[in-house]
């Protein structure tokens, strides 16, 4: 049973004003939207509500203004967003919002101005919550990627109006629950990338949850160094040696196997296609950098995945932006994709660079689920309660 209500639980909403929190914080360059993934993620919910006759009022933040800032207005977004929705989108400024909303008809869609034009949005200020709540009858939160923040439009509103999870939020929660909440074992986690210090909480939580923790990327260097391996000139956080040891100990206590690479690809320069060597981890020279894990390690990790039922992945295994150091990430991603297509593996991935790497490998569509969230995905991997999600499970005042 799900602990939150969805659009299925809304009943007859025709003529009702529904405030929908989306995350339309898309990347823009020179007034043009450069990646509309978040627009597309919102379509299912917005279209369904409009088709059911609701007056759809979309709330989103954009950038990090501390108050009104014309450069961060959502007004220029209404048209490109409408193109993605395939329906017209009205734009409503905060000044005359109540009047503008009252002139809308059932089935209309309107985008409200940037929620962060109120400084109190980020403080979850009751006055701002009341201002938003006065415009609507019901609240839908469809923005998992903003759910790690307790802001007025992401958390406070859920206590002020009857609250529901949108389709995108629901899909994200279902997938994440399948991957770490109630997964089929054995479970593998791949954690890579550059900075171990920002992902320590993730590793601590994962050793308690998964059967196999696969560590790659520069993250692996910190663990190898902690074990006394000479990693030469590699990117590494040497001061975290004790923390790495504590994670080894916690893994052993929890029966989680940690996999570190035993062969690596090294180079002396951080640039495309430099001279490289593929060596055992114990053979790295002082002036060399580990920039990818090696083919023997990839093959062994592929065998681990073949015996697993669930995979959660954050962080590339190498410096994938620079050829040929994308090799291991692409190869293991293809193994995971094939196992997913065969139906033996549920695969969930998230993180900005991870999603870029999976797209680069051409396998994003084969994964069971790709999270559009960055920070929220990592906080979820740490096992934290996300305030925007927790608020949806509270009973609303009059719902």
How many Å apart are CA 144 and CA 207, to the nearest integer? Answer: 24
Q: Which of 2, 87, 178, 195 does the annotation list as catalytic?
A: 195
Among all chains, which residue has been given the structure tokens 């025709």?
14
Of the candidates 375, 383, 384, 399, the residue annotated as catalytic is: 375
Query: Catalytic: 38?
Result: yes
Select from 352, 362, 385, 395 the one that contacts Mg ion (CB under 5 A). Answer: 352
- Smallest gap, in angstroms, from Cβ of residue 301 to ligand ADP? 15
Could you say whether residue 349 binds Mg ion (CB under 5 A)? Answer: no
Rounded CA separation 186/104 (Å): 52
278, β-bridge pairs = 265
Contacting residues toward ligand ADP, per CB under 6 A: 192-195, 217-218, 235, 290-291, 314-316, 318-321, 351-354
Binding-site size, Mg ion (CB under 5 A):
2
Residue 388 interacting partner from Mg ion, ligand ADP, none (CB closer than 5 to 8 Å by kind)? none
Measured from the CB atom, is 146 or 218 closer to ligand ADP?
A: 218
63 belongs to the binding site for Mg ion (CB under 5 A): no
353 binds Mg ion (CB under 5 A): yes
352 among known catalytic residues: yes
User: Smaller CB distance to Mg ion: residue 352 or 362?
Assistant: 352
Q: Is 354 in the site for Mg ion (CB under 5 A)?
A: no
Q: Which is nearer to ligand ADP, 72 or 356 (CB)?
A: 356
Question: Which range binds Mg ion by CB under 5 A, 55-63, 152-160, 299-307, 349-357?
Answer: 349-357
Active-site annotation holder among 16, 17, 38, 52: 38
Beta carbon of residue 354, minimum distance to Mg ion (angstroms, whole number): 8
Q: Is 216 noted as a catalytic residue in this protein?
A: no
> Which residue is it, tokens 């909403």?
13
261 binds, among Mg ion, ligand ADP, none (CB under 5 to 8 A by kind): none
User: Which of residues 168 and 327 has its CB atom nearest to ligand ADP in the complex?
Assistant: 327
Classify burial at 206, counting beta carbons within 10 Å of its beta carbon; exposed 0-12, middle 13-18, buried 19 or more: buried
| Closest residue by Cα to residue 364 from 349, 345, 385 | 349
Pick the closer one to ligand ADP by CB: 87 or 195.
Answer: 195
For residue 314, the partner it binds in Mg ion, ligand ADP, none, with Cβ less than 5 to 8 A by kind, is ligand ADP
**Closer to Mg ion at the Cβ: 2 or 360?**
360
CB of 226 to Mg ion, least distance (A): 23
Where does residue 228 fall: left (phi above 0), alpha (psi -120 to 50 degrees), or beta otherwise?
left
Q: Which residue is nearest to Mg ion (CB)?
A: 353
At its nearest, how many Å lie between ligand ADP and the CB of residue 318? 5
Nearer to Mg ion among residue 20 and residue 355 (C-beta)? 355
Q: Which positions lie near Mg ion, rule CB under 5 A?
A: 352-353
Instruction: Please list the active-site residues.
Output: 38, 195, 352, 375
């Amino acid at each position: 049973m799900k602990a939150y209500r969805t659009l299925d639980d809304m009943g007859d909403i025709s003529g009702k004003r529904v405030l929908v929190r989306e995350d339309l914080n898309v990347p823009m360059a020179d007034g043009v939207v450069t990646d509309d993934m978040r627009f597309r993620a919102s379509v299912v919910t917005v279209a369904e509500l409009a088709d059911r006759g609701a007056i759809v009022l979309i709330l989103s933040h954009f950038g990090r203004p501390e108050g009104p800032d014309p450069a961060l207005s959502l007004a220029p977004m209404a048209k490109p967003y409408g193109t993605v929705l395939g329906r017209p989108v009205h734009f409503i400024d905060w000044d005359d919002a109540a009047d503008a909303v009252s002139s809308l008809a059932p089935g209309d869609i309107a985008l409200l101005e940037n929620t962060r034009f109120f400084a109190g949005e980020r403080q979850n200020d009751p006055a701002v919550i009341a201002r938003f709540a006065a415009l609507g009858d019901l609240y839908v939160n469809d923005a998992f990627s903003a759910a790690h923040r307790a802001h007025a439009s992401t958390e406070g509103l859920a206590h002020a109006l009857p609250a529901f999870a949108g389709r995108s939020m629901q899909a994200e929660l279902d997938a994440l629950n399948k991957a770490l909440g109630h997964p089929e074992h054995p479970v593998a986690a791949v954690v890579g990338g550059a900075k171990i210090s920002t992902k320590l909480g993730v590793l601590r939580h994962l050793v308690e949850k998964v059967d196999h923790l696969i560590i790659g990327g520069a993250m692996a260097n910190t663990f190898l160094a902690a074990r006394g391996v000479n990693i030469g000139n590699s990117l590494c956080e040497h001061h975290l040696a004790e923390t790495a040891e504590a994670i080894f100990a916690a893994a052993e206590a929890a029966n989680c196997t940690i996999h570190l690479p035993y062969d690596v690809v090294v180079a002396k320069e951080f640039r495309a296609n430099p001279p490289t060597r593929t060596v055992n981890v114990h053979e790295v020279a002082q002036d060399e950098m580990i920039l990818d894990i090696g083919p023997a390690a990839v093959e062994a990790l592929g065998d681990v995945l073949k015996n697993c039922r669930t995979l959660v992945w954050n962080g590339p295994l190498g410096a994938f932006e620079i050829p040929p150091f994308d090799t291991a990430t692409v190869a293991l991603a293809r193994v995971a994709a094939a196992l997913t297509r065969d139906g033996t593996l549920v695969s969930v991935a998230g993180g900005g660079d991870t999603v870029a790497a999976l797209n680069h490998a051409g396998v994003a569509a084969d994964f069971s689920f790709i999270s559009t969230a960055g920070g929220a995905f990592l906080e979820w991997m740490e096992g934290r309660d996300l305030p925007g999600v927790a608020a949806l499970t509270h009973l609303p005042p009059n719902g």
